[in-house]
Amino acid sequence: MELLRITAMLLVMVVHANFRALPVPTAHEIVAYPTSKFLMFLTEAISVLAVDLFVLLSGWFGIRPKASRLGELIFQVFFFGCFSIGICALFAPERLENTPFYGSTMSRLFLCGENDYWFVKAYIGLYIISPILNTFIEHATKKQFATVLIAFYIFQSIYGWIFNATKWFESGYSMVSFAGLYMLARYMRLYPIKLWQQSKWFDAAVYGVYVIILTVTMFYIKKAGLRGGMLYFYSCPLVIIAAMHFVLFFTKLKPFRSKFINWIGISAFAIYLTHSSSFIGYFYDKSILNWFKTEPRLTFIAYTTILIIVVFIASILIDKVRILAWKGLVKLVDNKKQKDI
């Protein structure tokens, strides 16, 4: 499952390298360059479920909230925030200025802007309410649990996806949607139905069919000049179902132990904190967009792949420094407590 965590983070980097860094193809571009634009829609279909995967993973194992764990998460966020500010100070000091577009440096460090690590804020919210969700899950009957889940997803699908009529669903970019994914994964783990007990190749086939359907549908929707962006929402039932079977596929792989995989997995979240920082995520997106505009397609793919690998490795190594800093801080606090006693 740590391998799944790493895979999900790679998919996050890919989805951000696609329709976050690059513009969604227009109808004219699709007609002019059908193959390359089809591949862009294929890339988005393959990777857009990444965020749902992360939340489903938390639900699969269950969150057992501890003040120390929450403190470490907050420390990690601020550690990478300070690191990002340092990079900006060296290479793009203008991004640290107090401007209407970027906001103040301190407000962004404390995630006060709408787009400052939205995932972190939604996940911390989920972490805080997880004891309430856990209490319900532990005491509800299977029927009660299923009823709540069905009702939740009917409501979300209508008002948080089809009509997007409730701002607090935010198309899946919210604590509310995360709570639904968390409960869904807990139900999958506690009450495996026959559909979820099929072979791993069945789960792979479901994911493959989802990729084909989403790719072809979006290709022709955009070719017709229509919007269709709702199919990429994290609250889209098609995306959620694909993410469920993606998780199930990994749960059915032959178990193995790898210290190296665990060593990387424990720092996987750091990759998001670097390339999605409101301070330095700009460099990630801008580099990819510049290559897309100026380089041949194979060269663009090669450069983007290298960038993803470099950011991945650098983030893991930087996080190892963060881990040492956190352990040192904890030890310092513990020593102070012992002296006070």
- In the prediction, which pLDDT does 100 show? 52
The predicted structure's pLDDT at residue 341:
63
Range of the domain at 26: 2-340
Q: How many domains does the chain have?
A: 1
pLDDT for res 300:
95
pLDDT of residue 257: 84
- The tens digit of pLDDT for each residue in 45-102 reads 999 999 999 999 999 999 999 999 999 999 999 999 999 989 988 888 877 776 554 5
Show the low-confidence residues of the chain (pLDDT under 50). 101
* Positive or negative torsion for Cα 24, 111, 262, 200: negative
pLDDT in the model for residue 207:
96
pTM of the prediction? 0.92
Three-state secondary-structure class, residue 164? coil
Burial 207-225 (b: 16+ CB within 10 A, else e): beebbeebbeebbebbbee
The whole-number pLDDT of residue 126 equals 96
pLDDT of residue 195: 87
What pLDDT shows up at residue 338?
75
